Amino acid sequence: MSPAGPEHRPDGPVVPGTGWPDDEATAGTPVARDPAAVRALASGAGNLTELVARQSVCRACPRLVEWREQVAVEKRRSFQSQPYWGRPVPGWGAAHPRVLIVGLAPAAHGGNRTGRIFTGDRSGDALFASLWRCGLASQPTSIAAGDGQRLTAVRMAAAVRCAPPGNKPSVAERDACAPWLAAEIASISPDLRVIVCLGHFAWQALWWQLQAGGAAVPVPRPAFGHGAEALLGVPGQSGELRQPGEPRQPGIGPQAASRQLLVLGCYHPSQQNTFTGRVTDAMLDAVFLRASEHAGL
């Protein structure tokens, strides 16, 4: 199902509030135009819906804004007749998840086209099929926003919300985008029990996020691998949003730990990894069954 319609420009990014399925933004949603504004708008969002809306209109990284919008105009030949989302791809899934799946960034012709994370590319095909086999998704496929797909107590987000050229965001772009994920984790933290990191980049990006939220992050940080596990003590309240170097607020920290969060490593189900057998359906299922078990699903 394609969300095409007369209100969607066929040759550029979707205008906020024009009816794209799951688009929470409107013409009045504030737009972050630099990293400082990302920090302010992420920490100031009143709820998850508002946060998602703000994520989806962000313009803080000039290189990524130019790339995502250029791709949305030029398109891949096989998708020429479809409108492209062409905006940051926000977190998606359950509002009170027990499991959060974190990836690197949307694909240029996947999430950047469909507006839903991991939707419309081969990686997403493998991921959603596994979630469905494990009882965590309502359908084995995720084709487009508005296709009826629903996740069970699971949410997905990217460490970097805009499709980067060559799938390689810069360090500055990663850092600029970090407050969006930090705020999202803080918002869902009361229910969260497991975070699954798809790939090494997501694994690395996550540790600062968790430390900022007051989790007792191990030193040295655990090495990434498929099936790697780290069990962390986390505060019994919503995480705070701190920047590197800022002091931790009283009551937030290892000493306040009241429950445990399981961080799981998972090889990214990229086309290269699945074709070469580096990651198989059985390997993906093993990770998500472990996540489901720890989360009590």
Under the criterion CB under 6 A, does residue 60 sit at the interface with ligand SF4?
yes
Under the criterion CB under 6 A, does residue 42 sit at the interface with ligand SF4?
no
Cis (ω within 30 of 0) for the bond into 13?
no
**CB nearer to ligand SF4: pick between 62 and 135:** 62
Question: Shortest gap between Cβ of 172 and ligand SF4 (angstroms)?
Answer: 9
Under the criterion CB under 6 A, does residue 117 sit at the interface with ligand SF4?
no
Under the criterion CB under 6 A, does residue 38 sit at the interface with ligand SF4?
yes
**CB nearer to ligand SF4: pick between 100 and 216:** 100
CB 224 within 8 A of CB 276: no
Q: What are 158's two structure tokens? A: 């990217």
User: Edge-to-edge strand order for the sheet containing 257-266?
Assistant: 92-93, 154-158, 99-103, 194-198, 257-266, 229-235
**CB nearer to ligand SF4: pick between 125 and 173:** 173
Under the criterion CB under 6 A, does residue 58 sit at the interface with ligand SF4?
yes
Under the criterion CB under 6 A, does residue 61 sit at the interface with ligand SF4?
yes
Question: Shortest gap between Cβ of 102 and ligand SF4 (angstroms)?
Answer: 14
Question: Shortest gap between Cβ of 173 and ligand SF4 (angstroms)?
Answer: 5
- For the chain, the first-to-last Cα distance in angstroms comes to 30
Question: Shortest gap between Cβ of 267 and ligand SF4 (angstroms)?
Answer: 24
| 269 burial via Cβ count (<10 Å: 0-12, 13-18, 19+) | buried
Question: Shortest gap between Cβ of 209 and ligand SF4 (angstroms)?
Answer: 14
Please report how many Cα atoms fall inside a 13 Å half-sphere around the Cα of residue 214, on the Cβ side: 24
**CB nearer to ligand SF4: pick between 205 and 283:** 205
The whole-angstrom separation of Cα 146 and Cα 69 is 22
Out of 161, 193, 290, 294, the only residue in the binding site for ligand SF4 (CB under 6 A) is 161
Strand partners, 137: 151
**CB nearer to ligand SF4: pick between 69 and 125:** 69
Supply the DSSP string of 231-267, one letter for each residue. EEEEESSPPP---TTPPPPTT-SGGGEEEEEEEEEE-
Q: From 78-86, 158-166, 197-205, 226-234, give the range in contact with ligand SF4 by CB under 6 A.
A: 158-166
Site residues for ligand SF4 per CB under 6 A: 38, 58-61, 64-65, 88, 160-162, 173, 176-177, 180
